[in-house]
Structure 1
């Protein structure tokens, strides 16, 4: 385990590996930054954004798809952003949070009550106001759930199942997934884990889920497809937030982290807000890519 980049993210999130460019991409929500990092060369580029970026996914054509506060935009990896869809634009007290490309090439995003004020400080969350949406390649938006999540997190797909999390509830849930646009049968995926709370996740080549444990968890937990705890891997930070397998053979687990709400004493001697690389003895899977509809 090592911190390979002390990037001082306030809330690093949504890390994804691009095998074509051999680069990582991720967002800093509160810092309003988009990151790209080439581990082999050490090249690190940062792009400031006007709004808070909340998630990022790769596209089948060159570029990315990025969630902001209510807008989902197409990004050319340089300076051009093109609005593609709007989510809950009529609910100004909500914002987007988790976002990930599904195996069918659509982009799924979750919402939540906004917990960040105009200066980047914390706001209280008063209830379950978040839902999950699917955006297809033509920009059509479909609600997959009702407003039933406090903080939407973790979007991963197993064979015939979709697994997601509500951070505030310390809960991972699974649904039956029809392979395209529908989820049904919400139920617990695994009992509440005693360390921290669930944040972002990824799936390895054996179909196991790696879940980052934020807010004091300081670890990533590997869950079997049936929800059984396989093992726990420590990370040298209090709040690991998201993870993705990358590197030449997808054998490195990259982990982002957060220092949101921490004071100087909590930051001292640790790598809060850094990017970590872990050798966990298993390989991952290539990231799904968003497919635009042909015009």
Structure 2
């Protein structure tokens, strides 16, 4: 096995992992657990912030605060107290919720939506169809829908190149790509489709522009994809539902992975108690510094 458990988070849905290079720590959320984690992977120092809502993504701001999304709102958070809502996304689509969110090279927050798949009691709900979209929230407060394409579960917002956006639809087992021009996104094209192990969840990119994709729903792996979308390799994991990944450490040469235990029964968790943990994967690749909201 090329991966090891480094923190037994027991997250229901660990997600949105990133490296805060200024504070030297990993940051991620637990959607159903309604909390934010921060972990120094060198010292093991861990902080936990409970939230009054289910978070869906977290990103860094240039001024040191965070962009924290709930199911309905994009918020600003100063790492203490309650996040401050800035704007509601899709107020005309109450059956939808936000999912993936990440800051792009342009300093804007990009977010994807999907049909609500979590019940009021935190139980799973069926998704009846593709109702999600991709949005861009600019530092000036302007929110724009970026494409007419529909997504069942909008996931993976990464930029292998400054003008190339890769987005996944988990339900379609497909990663798509868009060229970014002065007027917005070009036509959607397939980046990678039909990988055999699991389904695509969150991703990160390395310094060479390769995409590392967490293969959720029984994938037990990260898929490393070349710049043209070809599968380079699977990297095995000791968890069945890896959800997101990020390069971290002082040299951006350590690769970390969050996971989930959502929908898993007690019998499975007895035999696989590491589900929902934070893992480190052995690799020779290096990552890129995180983008920050409002950066120029």
Decide which of 163, 178, 186 is 2:166's aligned counterpart: 163
Q: Which runs of 5+ in 2 are unaligned?
A: none
> SS in structure 2 opposite 1:268?
helix
Aligned-pair CA distance for 1:147: 5.7
> SS in structure 2 opposite 1:265?
helix
Q: Which runs of 5+ in 1 are unaligned?
A: none
Which residue of structure 1 lines up, in the alignment, with residue 210 of structure 2?
A: 208
Which residue of structure 2 lines up, in the alignment, with residue 286 of structure 1?
A: 289
> SS in structure 1 opposite 2:268?
helix
The answer to whether the 8 A contact 1:251-1:279 is kept is no
Between the aligned partners of 2:52 and 2:149, the Cα distance in structure 1 is 27
Decide which of 171, 175, 199 is 1:172's aligned counterpart: 175
Which residue of structure 2 lines up, in the alignment, with residue 227 of structure 1?
A: 229
Between the aligned partners of 2:7 and 2:201, the Cα distance in structure 1 is 20
Aligned-pair CA distance for 1:292: 7.4
The answer to whether the 8 A contact 1:134-1:181 is kept is no
Between the aligned partners of 1:134 and 1:210, the Cα distance in structure 2 is 23
The answer to whether the 8 A contact 2:51-2:82 is kept is no
TM-score by length of structure 2 reads 0.96
Structure 1 stretches of 4+ with a deviation exceeding 2 A read none
Q: Does 1:108 align with 2:143?
A: no
Between the aligned partners of 1:280 and 1:84, the Cα distance in structure 2 is 39
Between the aligned partners of 1:52 and 1:28, the Cα distance in structure 2 is 8
Q: Does 1:130 align with 2:128?
A: no
Describe the superposition over 1:237-271 as per-residue Cα deviations: whole angstroms up to 9, x where unpaired: 00000000001101111100010000012212321
Aligned-pair CA distance for 1:90: 2.5
Between the aligned partners of 1:177 and 1:265, the Cα distance in structure 2 is 47
Describe the superposition over 1:149-207 as per-residue Cα deviations: whole angstroms up to 9, x where unpaired: 000000011223111100001011111112x6711110111231001000000000111
Aligned-pair Cα RMSD in Å: 1.3
Q: Does 1:272 align with 2:280?
A: no
Q: Does 1:45 align with 2:55?
A: no
Between the aligned partners of 1:115 and 1:292, the Cα distance in structure 2 is 33
Describe the superposition over 1:49-92 as per-residue Cα deviations: whole angstroms up to 9, x where unpaired: 11110001011111110110111111111224222221012322
Decide which of 179, 194, 197 is 2:196's aligned counterpart: 194
Describe the superposition over 1:194-247 as per-residue Cα deviations: whole angstroms up to 9, x where unpaired: 010000000001110000000000100100010111111011100000000001
Between the aligned partners of 2:212 and 2:295, the Cα distance in structure 1 is 29
Which residue of structure 2 lines up, in the alignment, with residue 153 of structure 1?
A: 155
TM-score by length of structure 1 reads 0.96
1:224-263 map, 5 Å? 224-263=226-265
The answer to whether the 8 A contact 1:56-1:99 is kept is yes
Between the aligned partners of 1:227 and 1:31, the Cα distance in structure 2 is 33
Between the aligned partners of 1:19 and 1:149, the Cα distance in structure 2 is 32
The more displaced of 280-289 and 34-43 is: 34-43
Aligned pairs, number: 292
